[in-house]
A and B are shown apart, each in its own frame.
Chain A
Amino acid sequence: MSKAKTESKNTKKETTGNVKIYIMGSAYEVPATLTIMKAMEYAGYKFTRGSGCRAGFCGACSTVYRKEGDFRIYTALACQTMVEDGMVLTQLPFVPADKPTYDINNLTPSANTILRFYPEVARCLSCNACSKVCPQDIQVMDYIQFSLQGQIDKAAEESFDCVSCGLCAIRCPAEIPQYHVAELARRLYGKYLMIAPSYLDERIKEIIDGKYEDGFKELMALSKEKLEERYKNRDKE
């Protein structure tokens, strides 16, 4: 889930009634209780791209905005962020970035591997613009630096919450596609560095031995209503 980035004084006094926002330059009056995504729909926009889960997980709804009288650039996930009076915003439904292909089975978890596919990582200026813009509050610069240092485990852990919204990549003066670098780091981490849980082999054997076959058959035979009921009453950790 994403953090809400827009709790300024403005919102607090404007939680009821309408606020005025600017979508791609045009002014709209919208209820103050809406998220940016709902406000855009209220204003008549229809999402065919730039929206997915509506729950802060898919990273499809990147939004860039400024506020009146404030030089800063703000970013948000539109489905997770409430509108604010005076917001000037636009959507960034897609960020172009090159994504090299590799065979994860033939790599080593090292700085050299990162640099082989993403040589631009060496251009990082440590400006931290990427961390400032991240709607997930990730220390993006730190994970880029960890990758450059070959500290793949730390890069994987720091980038864990990344939703690949791409906002960091558009702010980077070194033109690094951070989220793709992070994905490579996490793959290397999972493949080569993480200790496999001891019960994994046992569970695989159980599956091969057919322990769950009957259970699956039973589920497949259920009606949609019965399935929904089961889902609602499932055990949660």
Chain B
Amino acid sequence: MVNYSYFPGCNLKTNAKGFEKSAIAVSKKLEAELVEIPNWNCCGTVHTMTADNLMKRIAPVRVLARSRKHVEELENSSQDIVTLCSMCNSTLKIVNSEVLVDPEKLEVINFQLEDDEETYSSDMEVKHFLEILRDNIGFAKIANKVVKPLKGFKVTPYYGCMLLHPEEAKIDDEEMPSVLENLIESLGAEVVFSPLFKYCCGSYHIVSDEDIVTRQVQKIIDSAMIRGANALAVACPLCAYNLDQQQKMLMEKTGKKEAIPIFYFSQLMALAMGEPVEINHFEDHKIDPRILLKELKFK
């Protein structure tokens, strides 16, 4: 049993409960438990990614420092901080490498954190849970734990932007990624490749200009459906939100009949590993994945 210090990020507690619960459940099953940092703050993405003002780096560095403390309290742990949200993963990875190559920057930030006894010394690694699954657990072990192979699931892996860019934050090859493909196959599902696997979902434009997101989503979904997919696998709560919500919008606006459910990769794992279906919070989805489960007689 290995314990990982797990940083949830705000979305996992609000819009993406099913992502978190399913991931935690399978992590236990795989004897690589994700244990939440008892008190954590926002990874700081809003402020952190805008300018090089060091004040704005305090949030992510504090997260790294708190995780470092957490790791000391955990038994049999590694110096990794694990995230599920690809945005948090990206923010924390970028800042972690930034302060590693520039100790002076870190010193300035640490000066602010000294009074709180939360200084950081560049000794943590930021990992996305997908990296742990691939590099520390391995797909063979995952396949071993499958009790209900995902027969009839035709899944298009969708990476979005944040998992593959930029260089400091990517978790896989940016042109030919394979981690989601291998994972989906190890669960007994069929992979349906779509060339739009990292075509942007429209991201934060959802707040200011929904139409941009609608157009992006339509292309991504059409590309998967034409190739015969009946599901999409994602790793980012914002991608999931846009893809799910905007499909519903399109159906209402254009009278479009077909839609495909959006799954977090961890939800597919939880299904295949026989976890109770409720932990996936499918009721939060606009395109209800339970319809597909019924069609495929998946029980």
Contacts and interface: CB of A to CB of B under 8 A. Distances in A.
Interface of A: 110-112, 122, 124-128, 131-132, 139, 141-142, 145-146, 148-151, 173
Contacts of B70: none
Given A124-B42, A125-B47, A141-B41, A131 B58 contact: no
A181 to B, nearest CB: 15
Given A111-B14, A142-B39, A148-B10, A132 B44 contact: no
Contacts of A124: 41-42
Contacts of B39: 139, 142, 145-146
A148 B41 CA distance: 9
Contacts of B148: none
A126 B13 contact: no
B115 A125 contact: no
B128 interface: no
A139 B14 CA distance: 22
Nearest to A149: B13
Given A127-B112, A151-B13, A145 B46 contact: no
B112 A122 contact: no
B85 interface: no
B60 to A, nearest CB: 9
Given A125-B47, A139-B39, A149-B10, A132 B116 contact: yes
8 contacts: A124-B41, A124-B42, A125-B55, A125-B56, A125-B59, A132-B116, A142-B41, A148-B42
B14 A125 contact: no
A124 B10 CA distance: 13
Interface in B31-73: 39-42, 44, 46-47, 55-56, 58-59, 62
Which 10 residue pairs are nearest across A and B when measured between Cβ atoms? A126-B59, A126-B41, A145-B41, A149-B13, A142-B39, A150-B14, A111-B14, A128-B116, A149-B10, A150-B13
Interface of B: 10, 13-14, 39-42, 44, 46-47, 55-56, 58-59, 62, 112-113, 115-116, 118
Contacts of B59: 125-126
A126 B116 contact: no
Contacts, number: 49
Chain B CB within 10 A, most for which of A126, A127, A148: A126
Contacts of A127: 55, 58, 112
Contact of B116 (A111, A131, A146, A173): A131
A150 B12 CA distance: 10
A126 B112 contact: no
A142 B66 CA distance: 12
B68 to A, nearest CB: 16
Contacts of B14: 110-112, 149-150
A66 B46 CA distance: 34
B42 A126 contact: yes
B13 A132 contact: no
Contacts of A112: 14
Contacts of A128: 58, 62, 113, 116, 118
Contacts of A110: 14
Contacts of B42: 124, 126, 145, 148
Chain A CB within 10 A, most for which of B41, B42, B58, B62: B41
B109 to A, nearest CB: 11
A110 to B, nearest CB: 7
A125 B44 contact: yes
A125 B50 CA distance: 13
A103 B10 CA distance: 26
Given A149-B13, A149-B14, A150-B14, A126 B115 contact: no
A126 B10 contact: no
A132 B58 CA distance: 15
Contacts of A132: 115-116
Nearest to B113: A128
Contacts of B56: 125
Nearest to B39: A142
B46 A122 contact: yes
